[in-house]
């Protein structure tokens, strides 16, 4: 009996994060969802066994759904180690699962997520309960210098690299990236240098 489905919504130029959803057909809403780099890793881990079609719900039986949950937990554990989330939070004596999930998302992101991006992550999370909870977690990671916050105009971005460095704002996309001093952007109106408060660039 195929009472479950799995579906991947791949990242696009508008939405930078993969979303993998495991749904139980009888219930409304999603049983579990994974968002961002972790979703992509889990998808790679399960796709060969299931021959998944992209962006189309794939019917599953209960055993397959259980297999995906086990596989997802294993991939998440591996990523927590690989991105040194377990190690760094343990060093600060932090055991909160939601904090682990958030730091993993930020470390796996291949861009500087904005507050809005972290809000989207929260909406897909089953352990970060609210916006207030998210704010508390961000403050905790920031205060322990595991991430840094970069304020550009009225927008906040979060950086997995907590050390001082300069950024570049792309005024067309509104995104920031690390500033490479070898890149001459002084002639361009599109890019704006964002110096770190503790260093010139
Ligand atoms: Zn940066």
Residue 5, phi then psi, degrees to nearest 5:
-140, 155
User: Could you tell me the distance, in angstroms and rounded to a whole number, from the CA of residue 172 to the centre of ligand 1?
Assistant: 18
Domains of the chain with bracketed CATH: 4-82 (no CATH), 85-163 (1.10.10.10), 164-201 (no CATH)
The predicted pLDDT at position 49 comes to: 72
Contact partners, residue 145, CB within 8 Å, separation at least 6: 162
User: Could you tell me the distance, in angstroms and rounded to a whole number, from the CA of residue 197 to the centre of ligand 1?
Assistant: 13
User: Could you tell me the distance, in angstroms and rounded to a whole number, from the CA of residue 159 to the centre of ligand 1?
Assistant: 5
pLDDT 10s digit of each residue in the chain, 201 long?
778 999 999 898 888 899 999 998 876 678 899 999 999 999 998 887 776 666 678 888 899 999 999 999 999 999 999 999 999 999 999 999 999 999 999 999 999 999 999 999 999 999 999 999 999 999 999 999 999 999 998 999 999 999 999 999 999 999 999 987 666 666 778 888 888 887 777
Half-sphere exposure at residue 117, Cβ-oriented, CA atoms within 13 angstroms: 25
Residue-wise pLDDT for 35-68, tens only, equals 999 999 999 988 877 766 666 788 888 999 999 9
User: Could you tell me the distance, in angstroms and rounded to a whole number, from the CA of residue 105 to the centre of ligand 1?
Assistant: 15
- Integer CA distances (angstroms), 185 to 34, 177, 189, 191, 192, in order: 37, 13, 8, 7, 8
**Which of these, 115, 138, 113, lies nearest to 128 by C-alpha position?**
138
The predicted pLDDT at position 54 comes to: 63
Decide: 43 and 52 in contact? Cβ < 8 Å. yes
User: Could you tell me the distance, in angstroms and rounded to a whole number, from the CA of residue 180 to the centre of ligand 1?
Assistant: 10
Compute the distance between CA of residue 83 and CA of residue 76 in angstroms, rounded to an integer.
10
User: Could you tell me the distance, in angstroms and rounded to a whole number, from the CA of residue 110 to the centre of ligand 1?
Assistant: 11
Residue 197, token pair as written in the block? 């408060």
User: Could you tell me the distance, in angstroms and rounded to a whole number, from the CA of residue 115 to the centre of ligand 1?
Assistant: 15
Residue-wise pLDDT for 73-82, tens only, equals 999 999 999 9
Q: Look up tokens 């377990």; give the residue.
A: 86
Sign, CA torsion 67/73/77/80: positive
| Mean pLDDT over the full length of the chain | 90
User: Could you tell me the distance, in angstroms and rounded to a whole number, from the CA of residue 19 to the centre of ligand 1?
Assistant: 24
User: Could you tell me the distance, in angstroms and rounded to a whole number, from the CA of residue 35 to the centre of ligand 1?
Assistant: 21
Compute the distance between CA of residue 158 and CA of residue 121 in angstroms, rounded to an integer.
13
User: Could you tell me the distance, in angstroms and rounded to a whole number, from the CA of residue 164 to the centre of ligand 1?
Assistant: 8
Neighbours of ion ligand 1 (CB under 5 A): 159, 178
User: Could you tell me the distance, in angstroms and rounded to a whole number, from the CA of residue 165 to the centre of ligand 1?
Assistant: 6
């Amino acid at each position: 009996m195929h009472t479950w489905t799995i579906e991947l919504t791949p990242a696009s130029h508008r939405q930078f994060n993969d979303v993998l959803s495991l749904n139980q057909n009888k219930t409304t809403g999603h049983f579990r969802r994974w968002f961002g780099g972790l979703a992509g890793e889990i998808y790679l881990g399960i796709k060969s066994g299931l021959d998944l079609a992209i962006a189309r719900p794939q019917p599953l039986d209960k055993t397959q759904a259980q297999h995906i949950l086990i596989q997802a937990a294993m991939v998440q554990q591996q990523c927590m180690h690989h991105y040194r989330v377990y190690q760094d939070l343990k060093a600060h004596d932090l055991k909160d699962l939601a904090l682990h999930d958030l730091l993993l998302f930020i470390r796996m992101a291949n861009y500087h997520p904005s507050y809005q991006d972290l809000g989207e992550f929260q909406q897909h999370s089953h352990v970060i309960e609210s916006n207030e909870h998210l704010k508390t977690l961000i403050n905790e990671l920031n205060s322990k210098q595991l991430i840094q916050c970069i304020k550009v105009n009225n927008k906040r971005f979060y950086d997995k690299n907590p050390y001082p460095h300069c950024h570049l704002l792309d005024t067309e996309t509104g995104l920031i990236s690390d500033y490479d001093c070898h890149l001459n952007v002084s002639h361009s109106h599109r890019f704006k240098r964002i110096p770190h408060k503790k260093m010139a660039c």
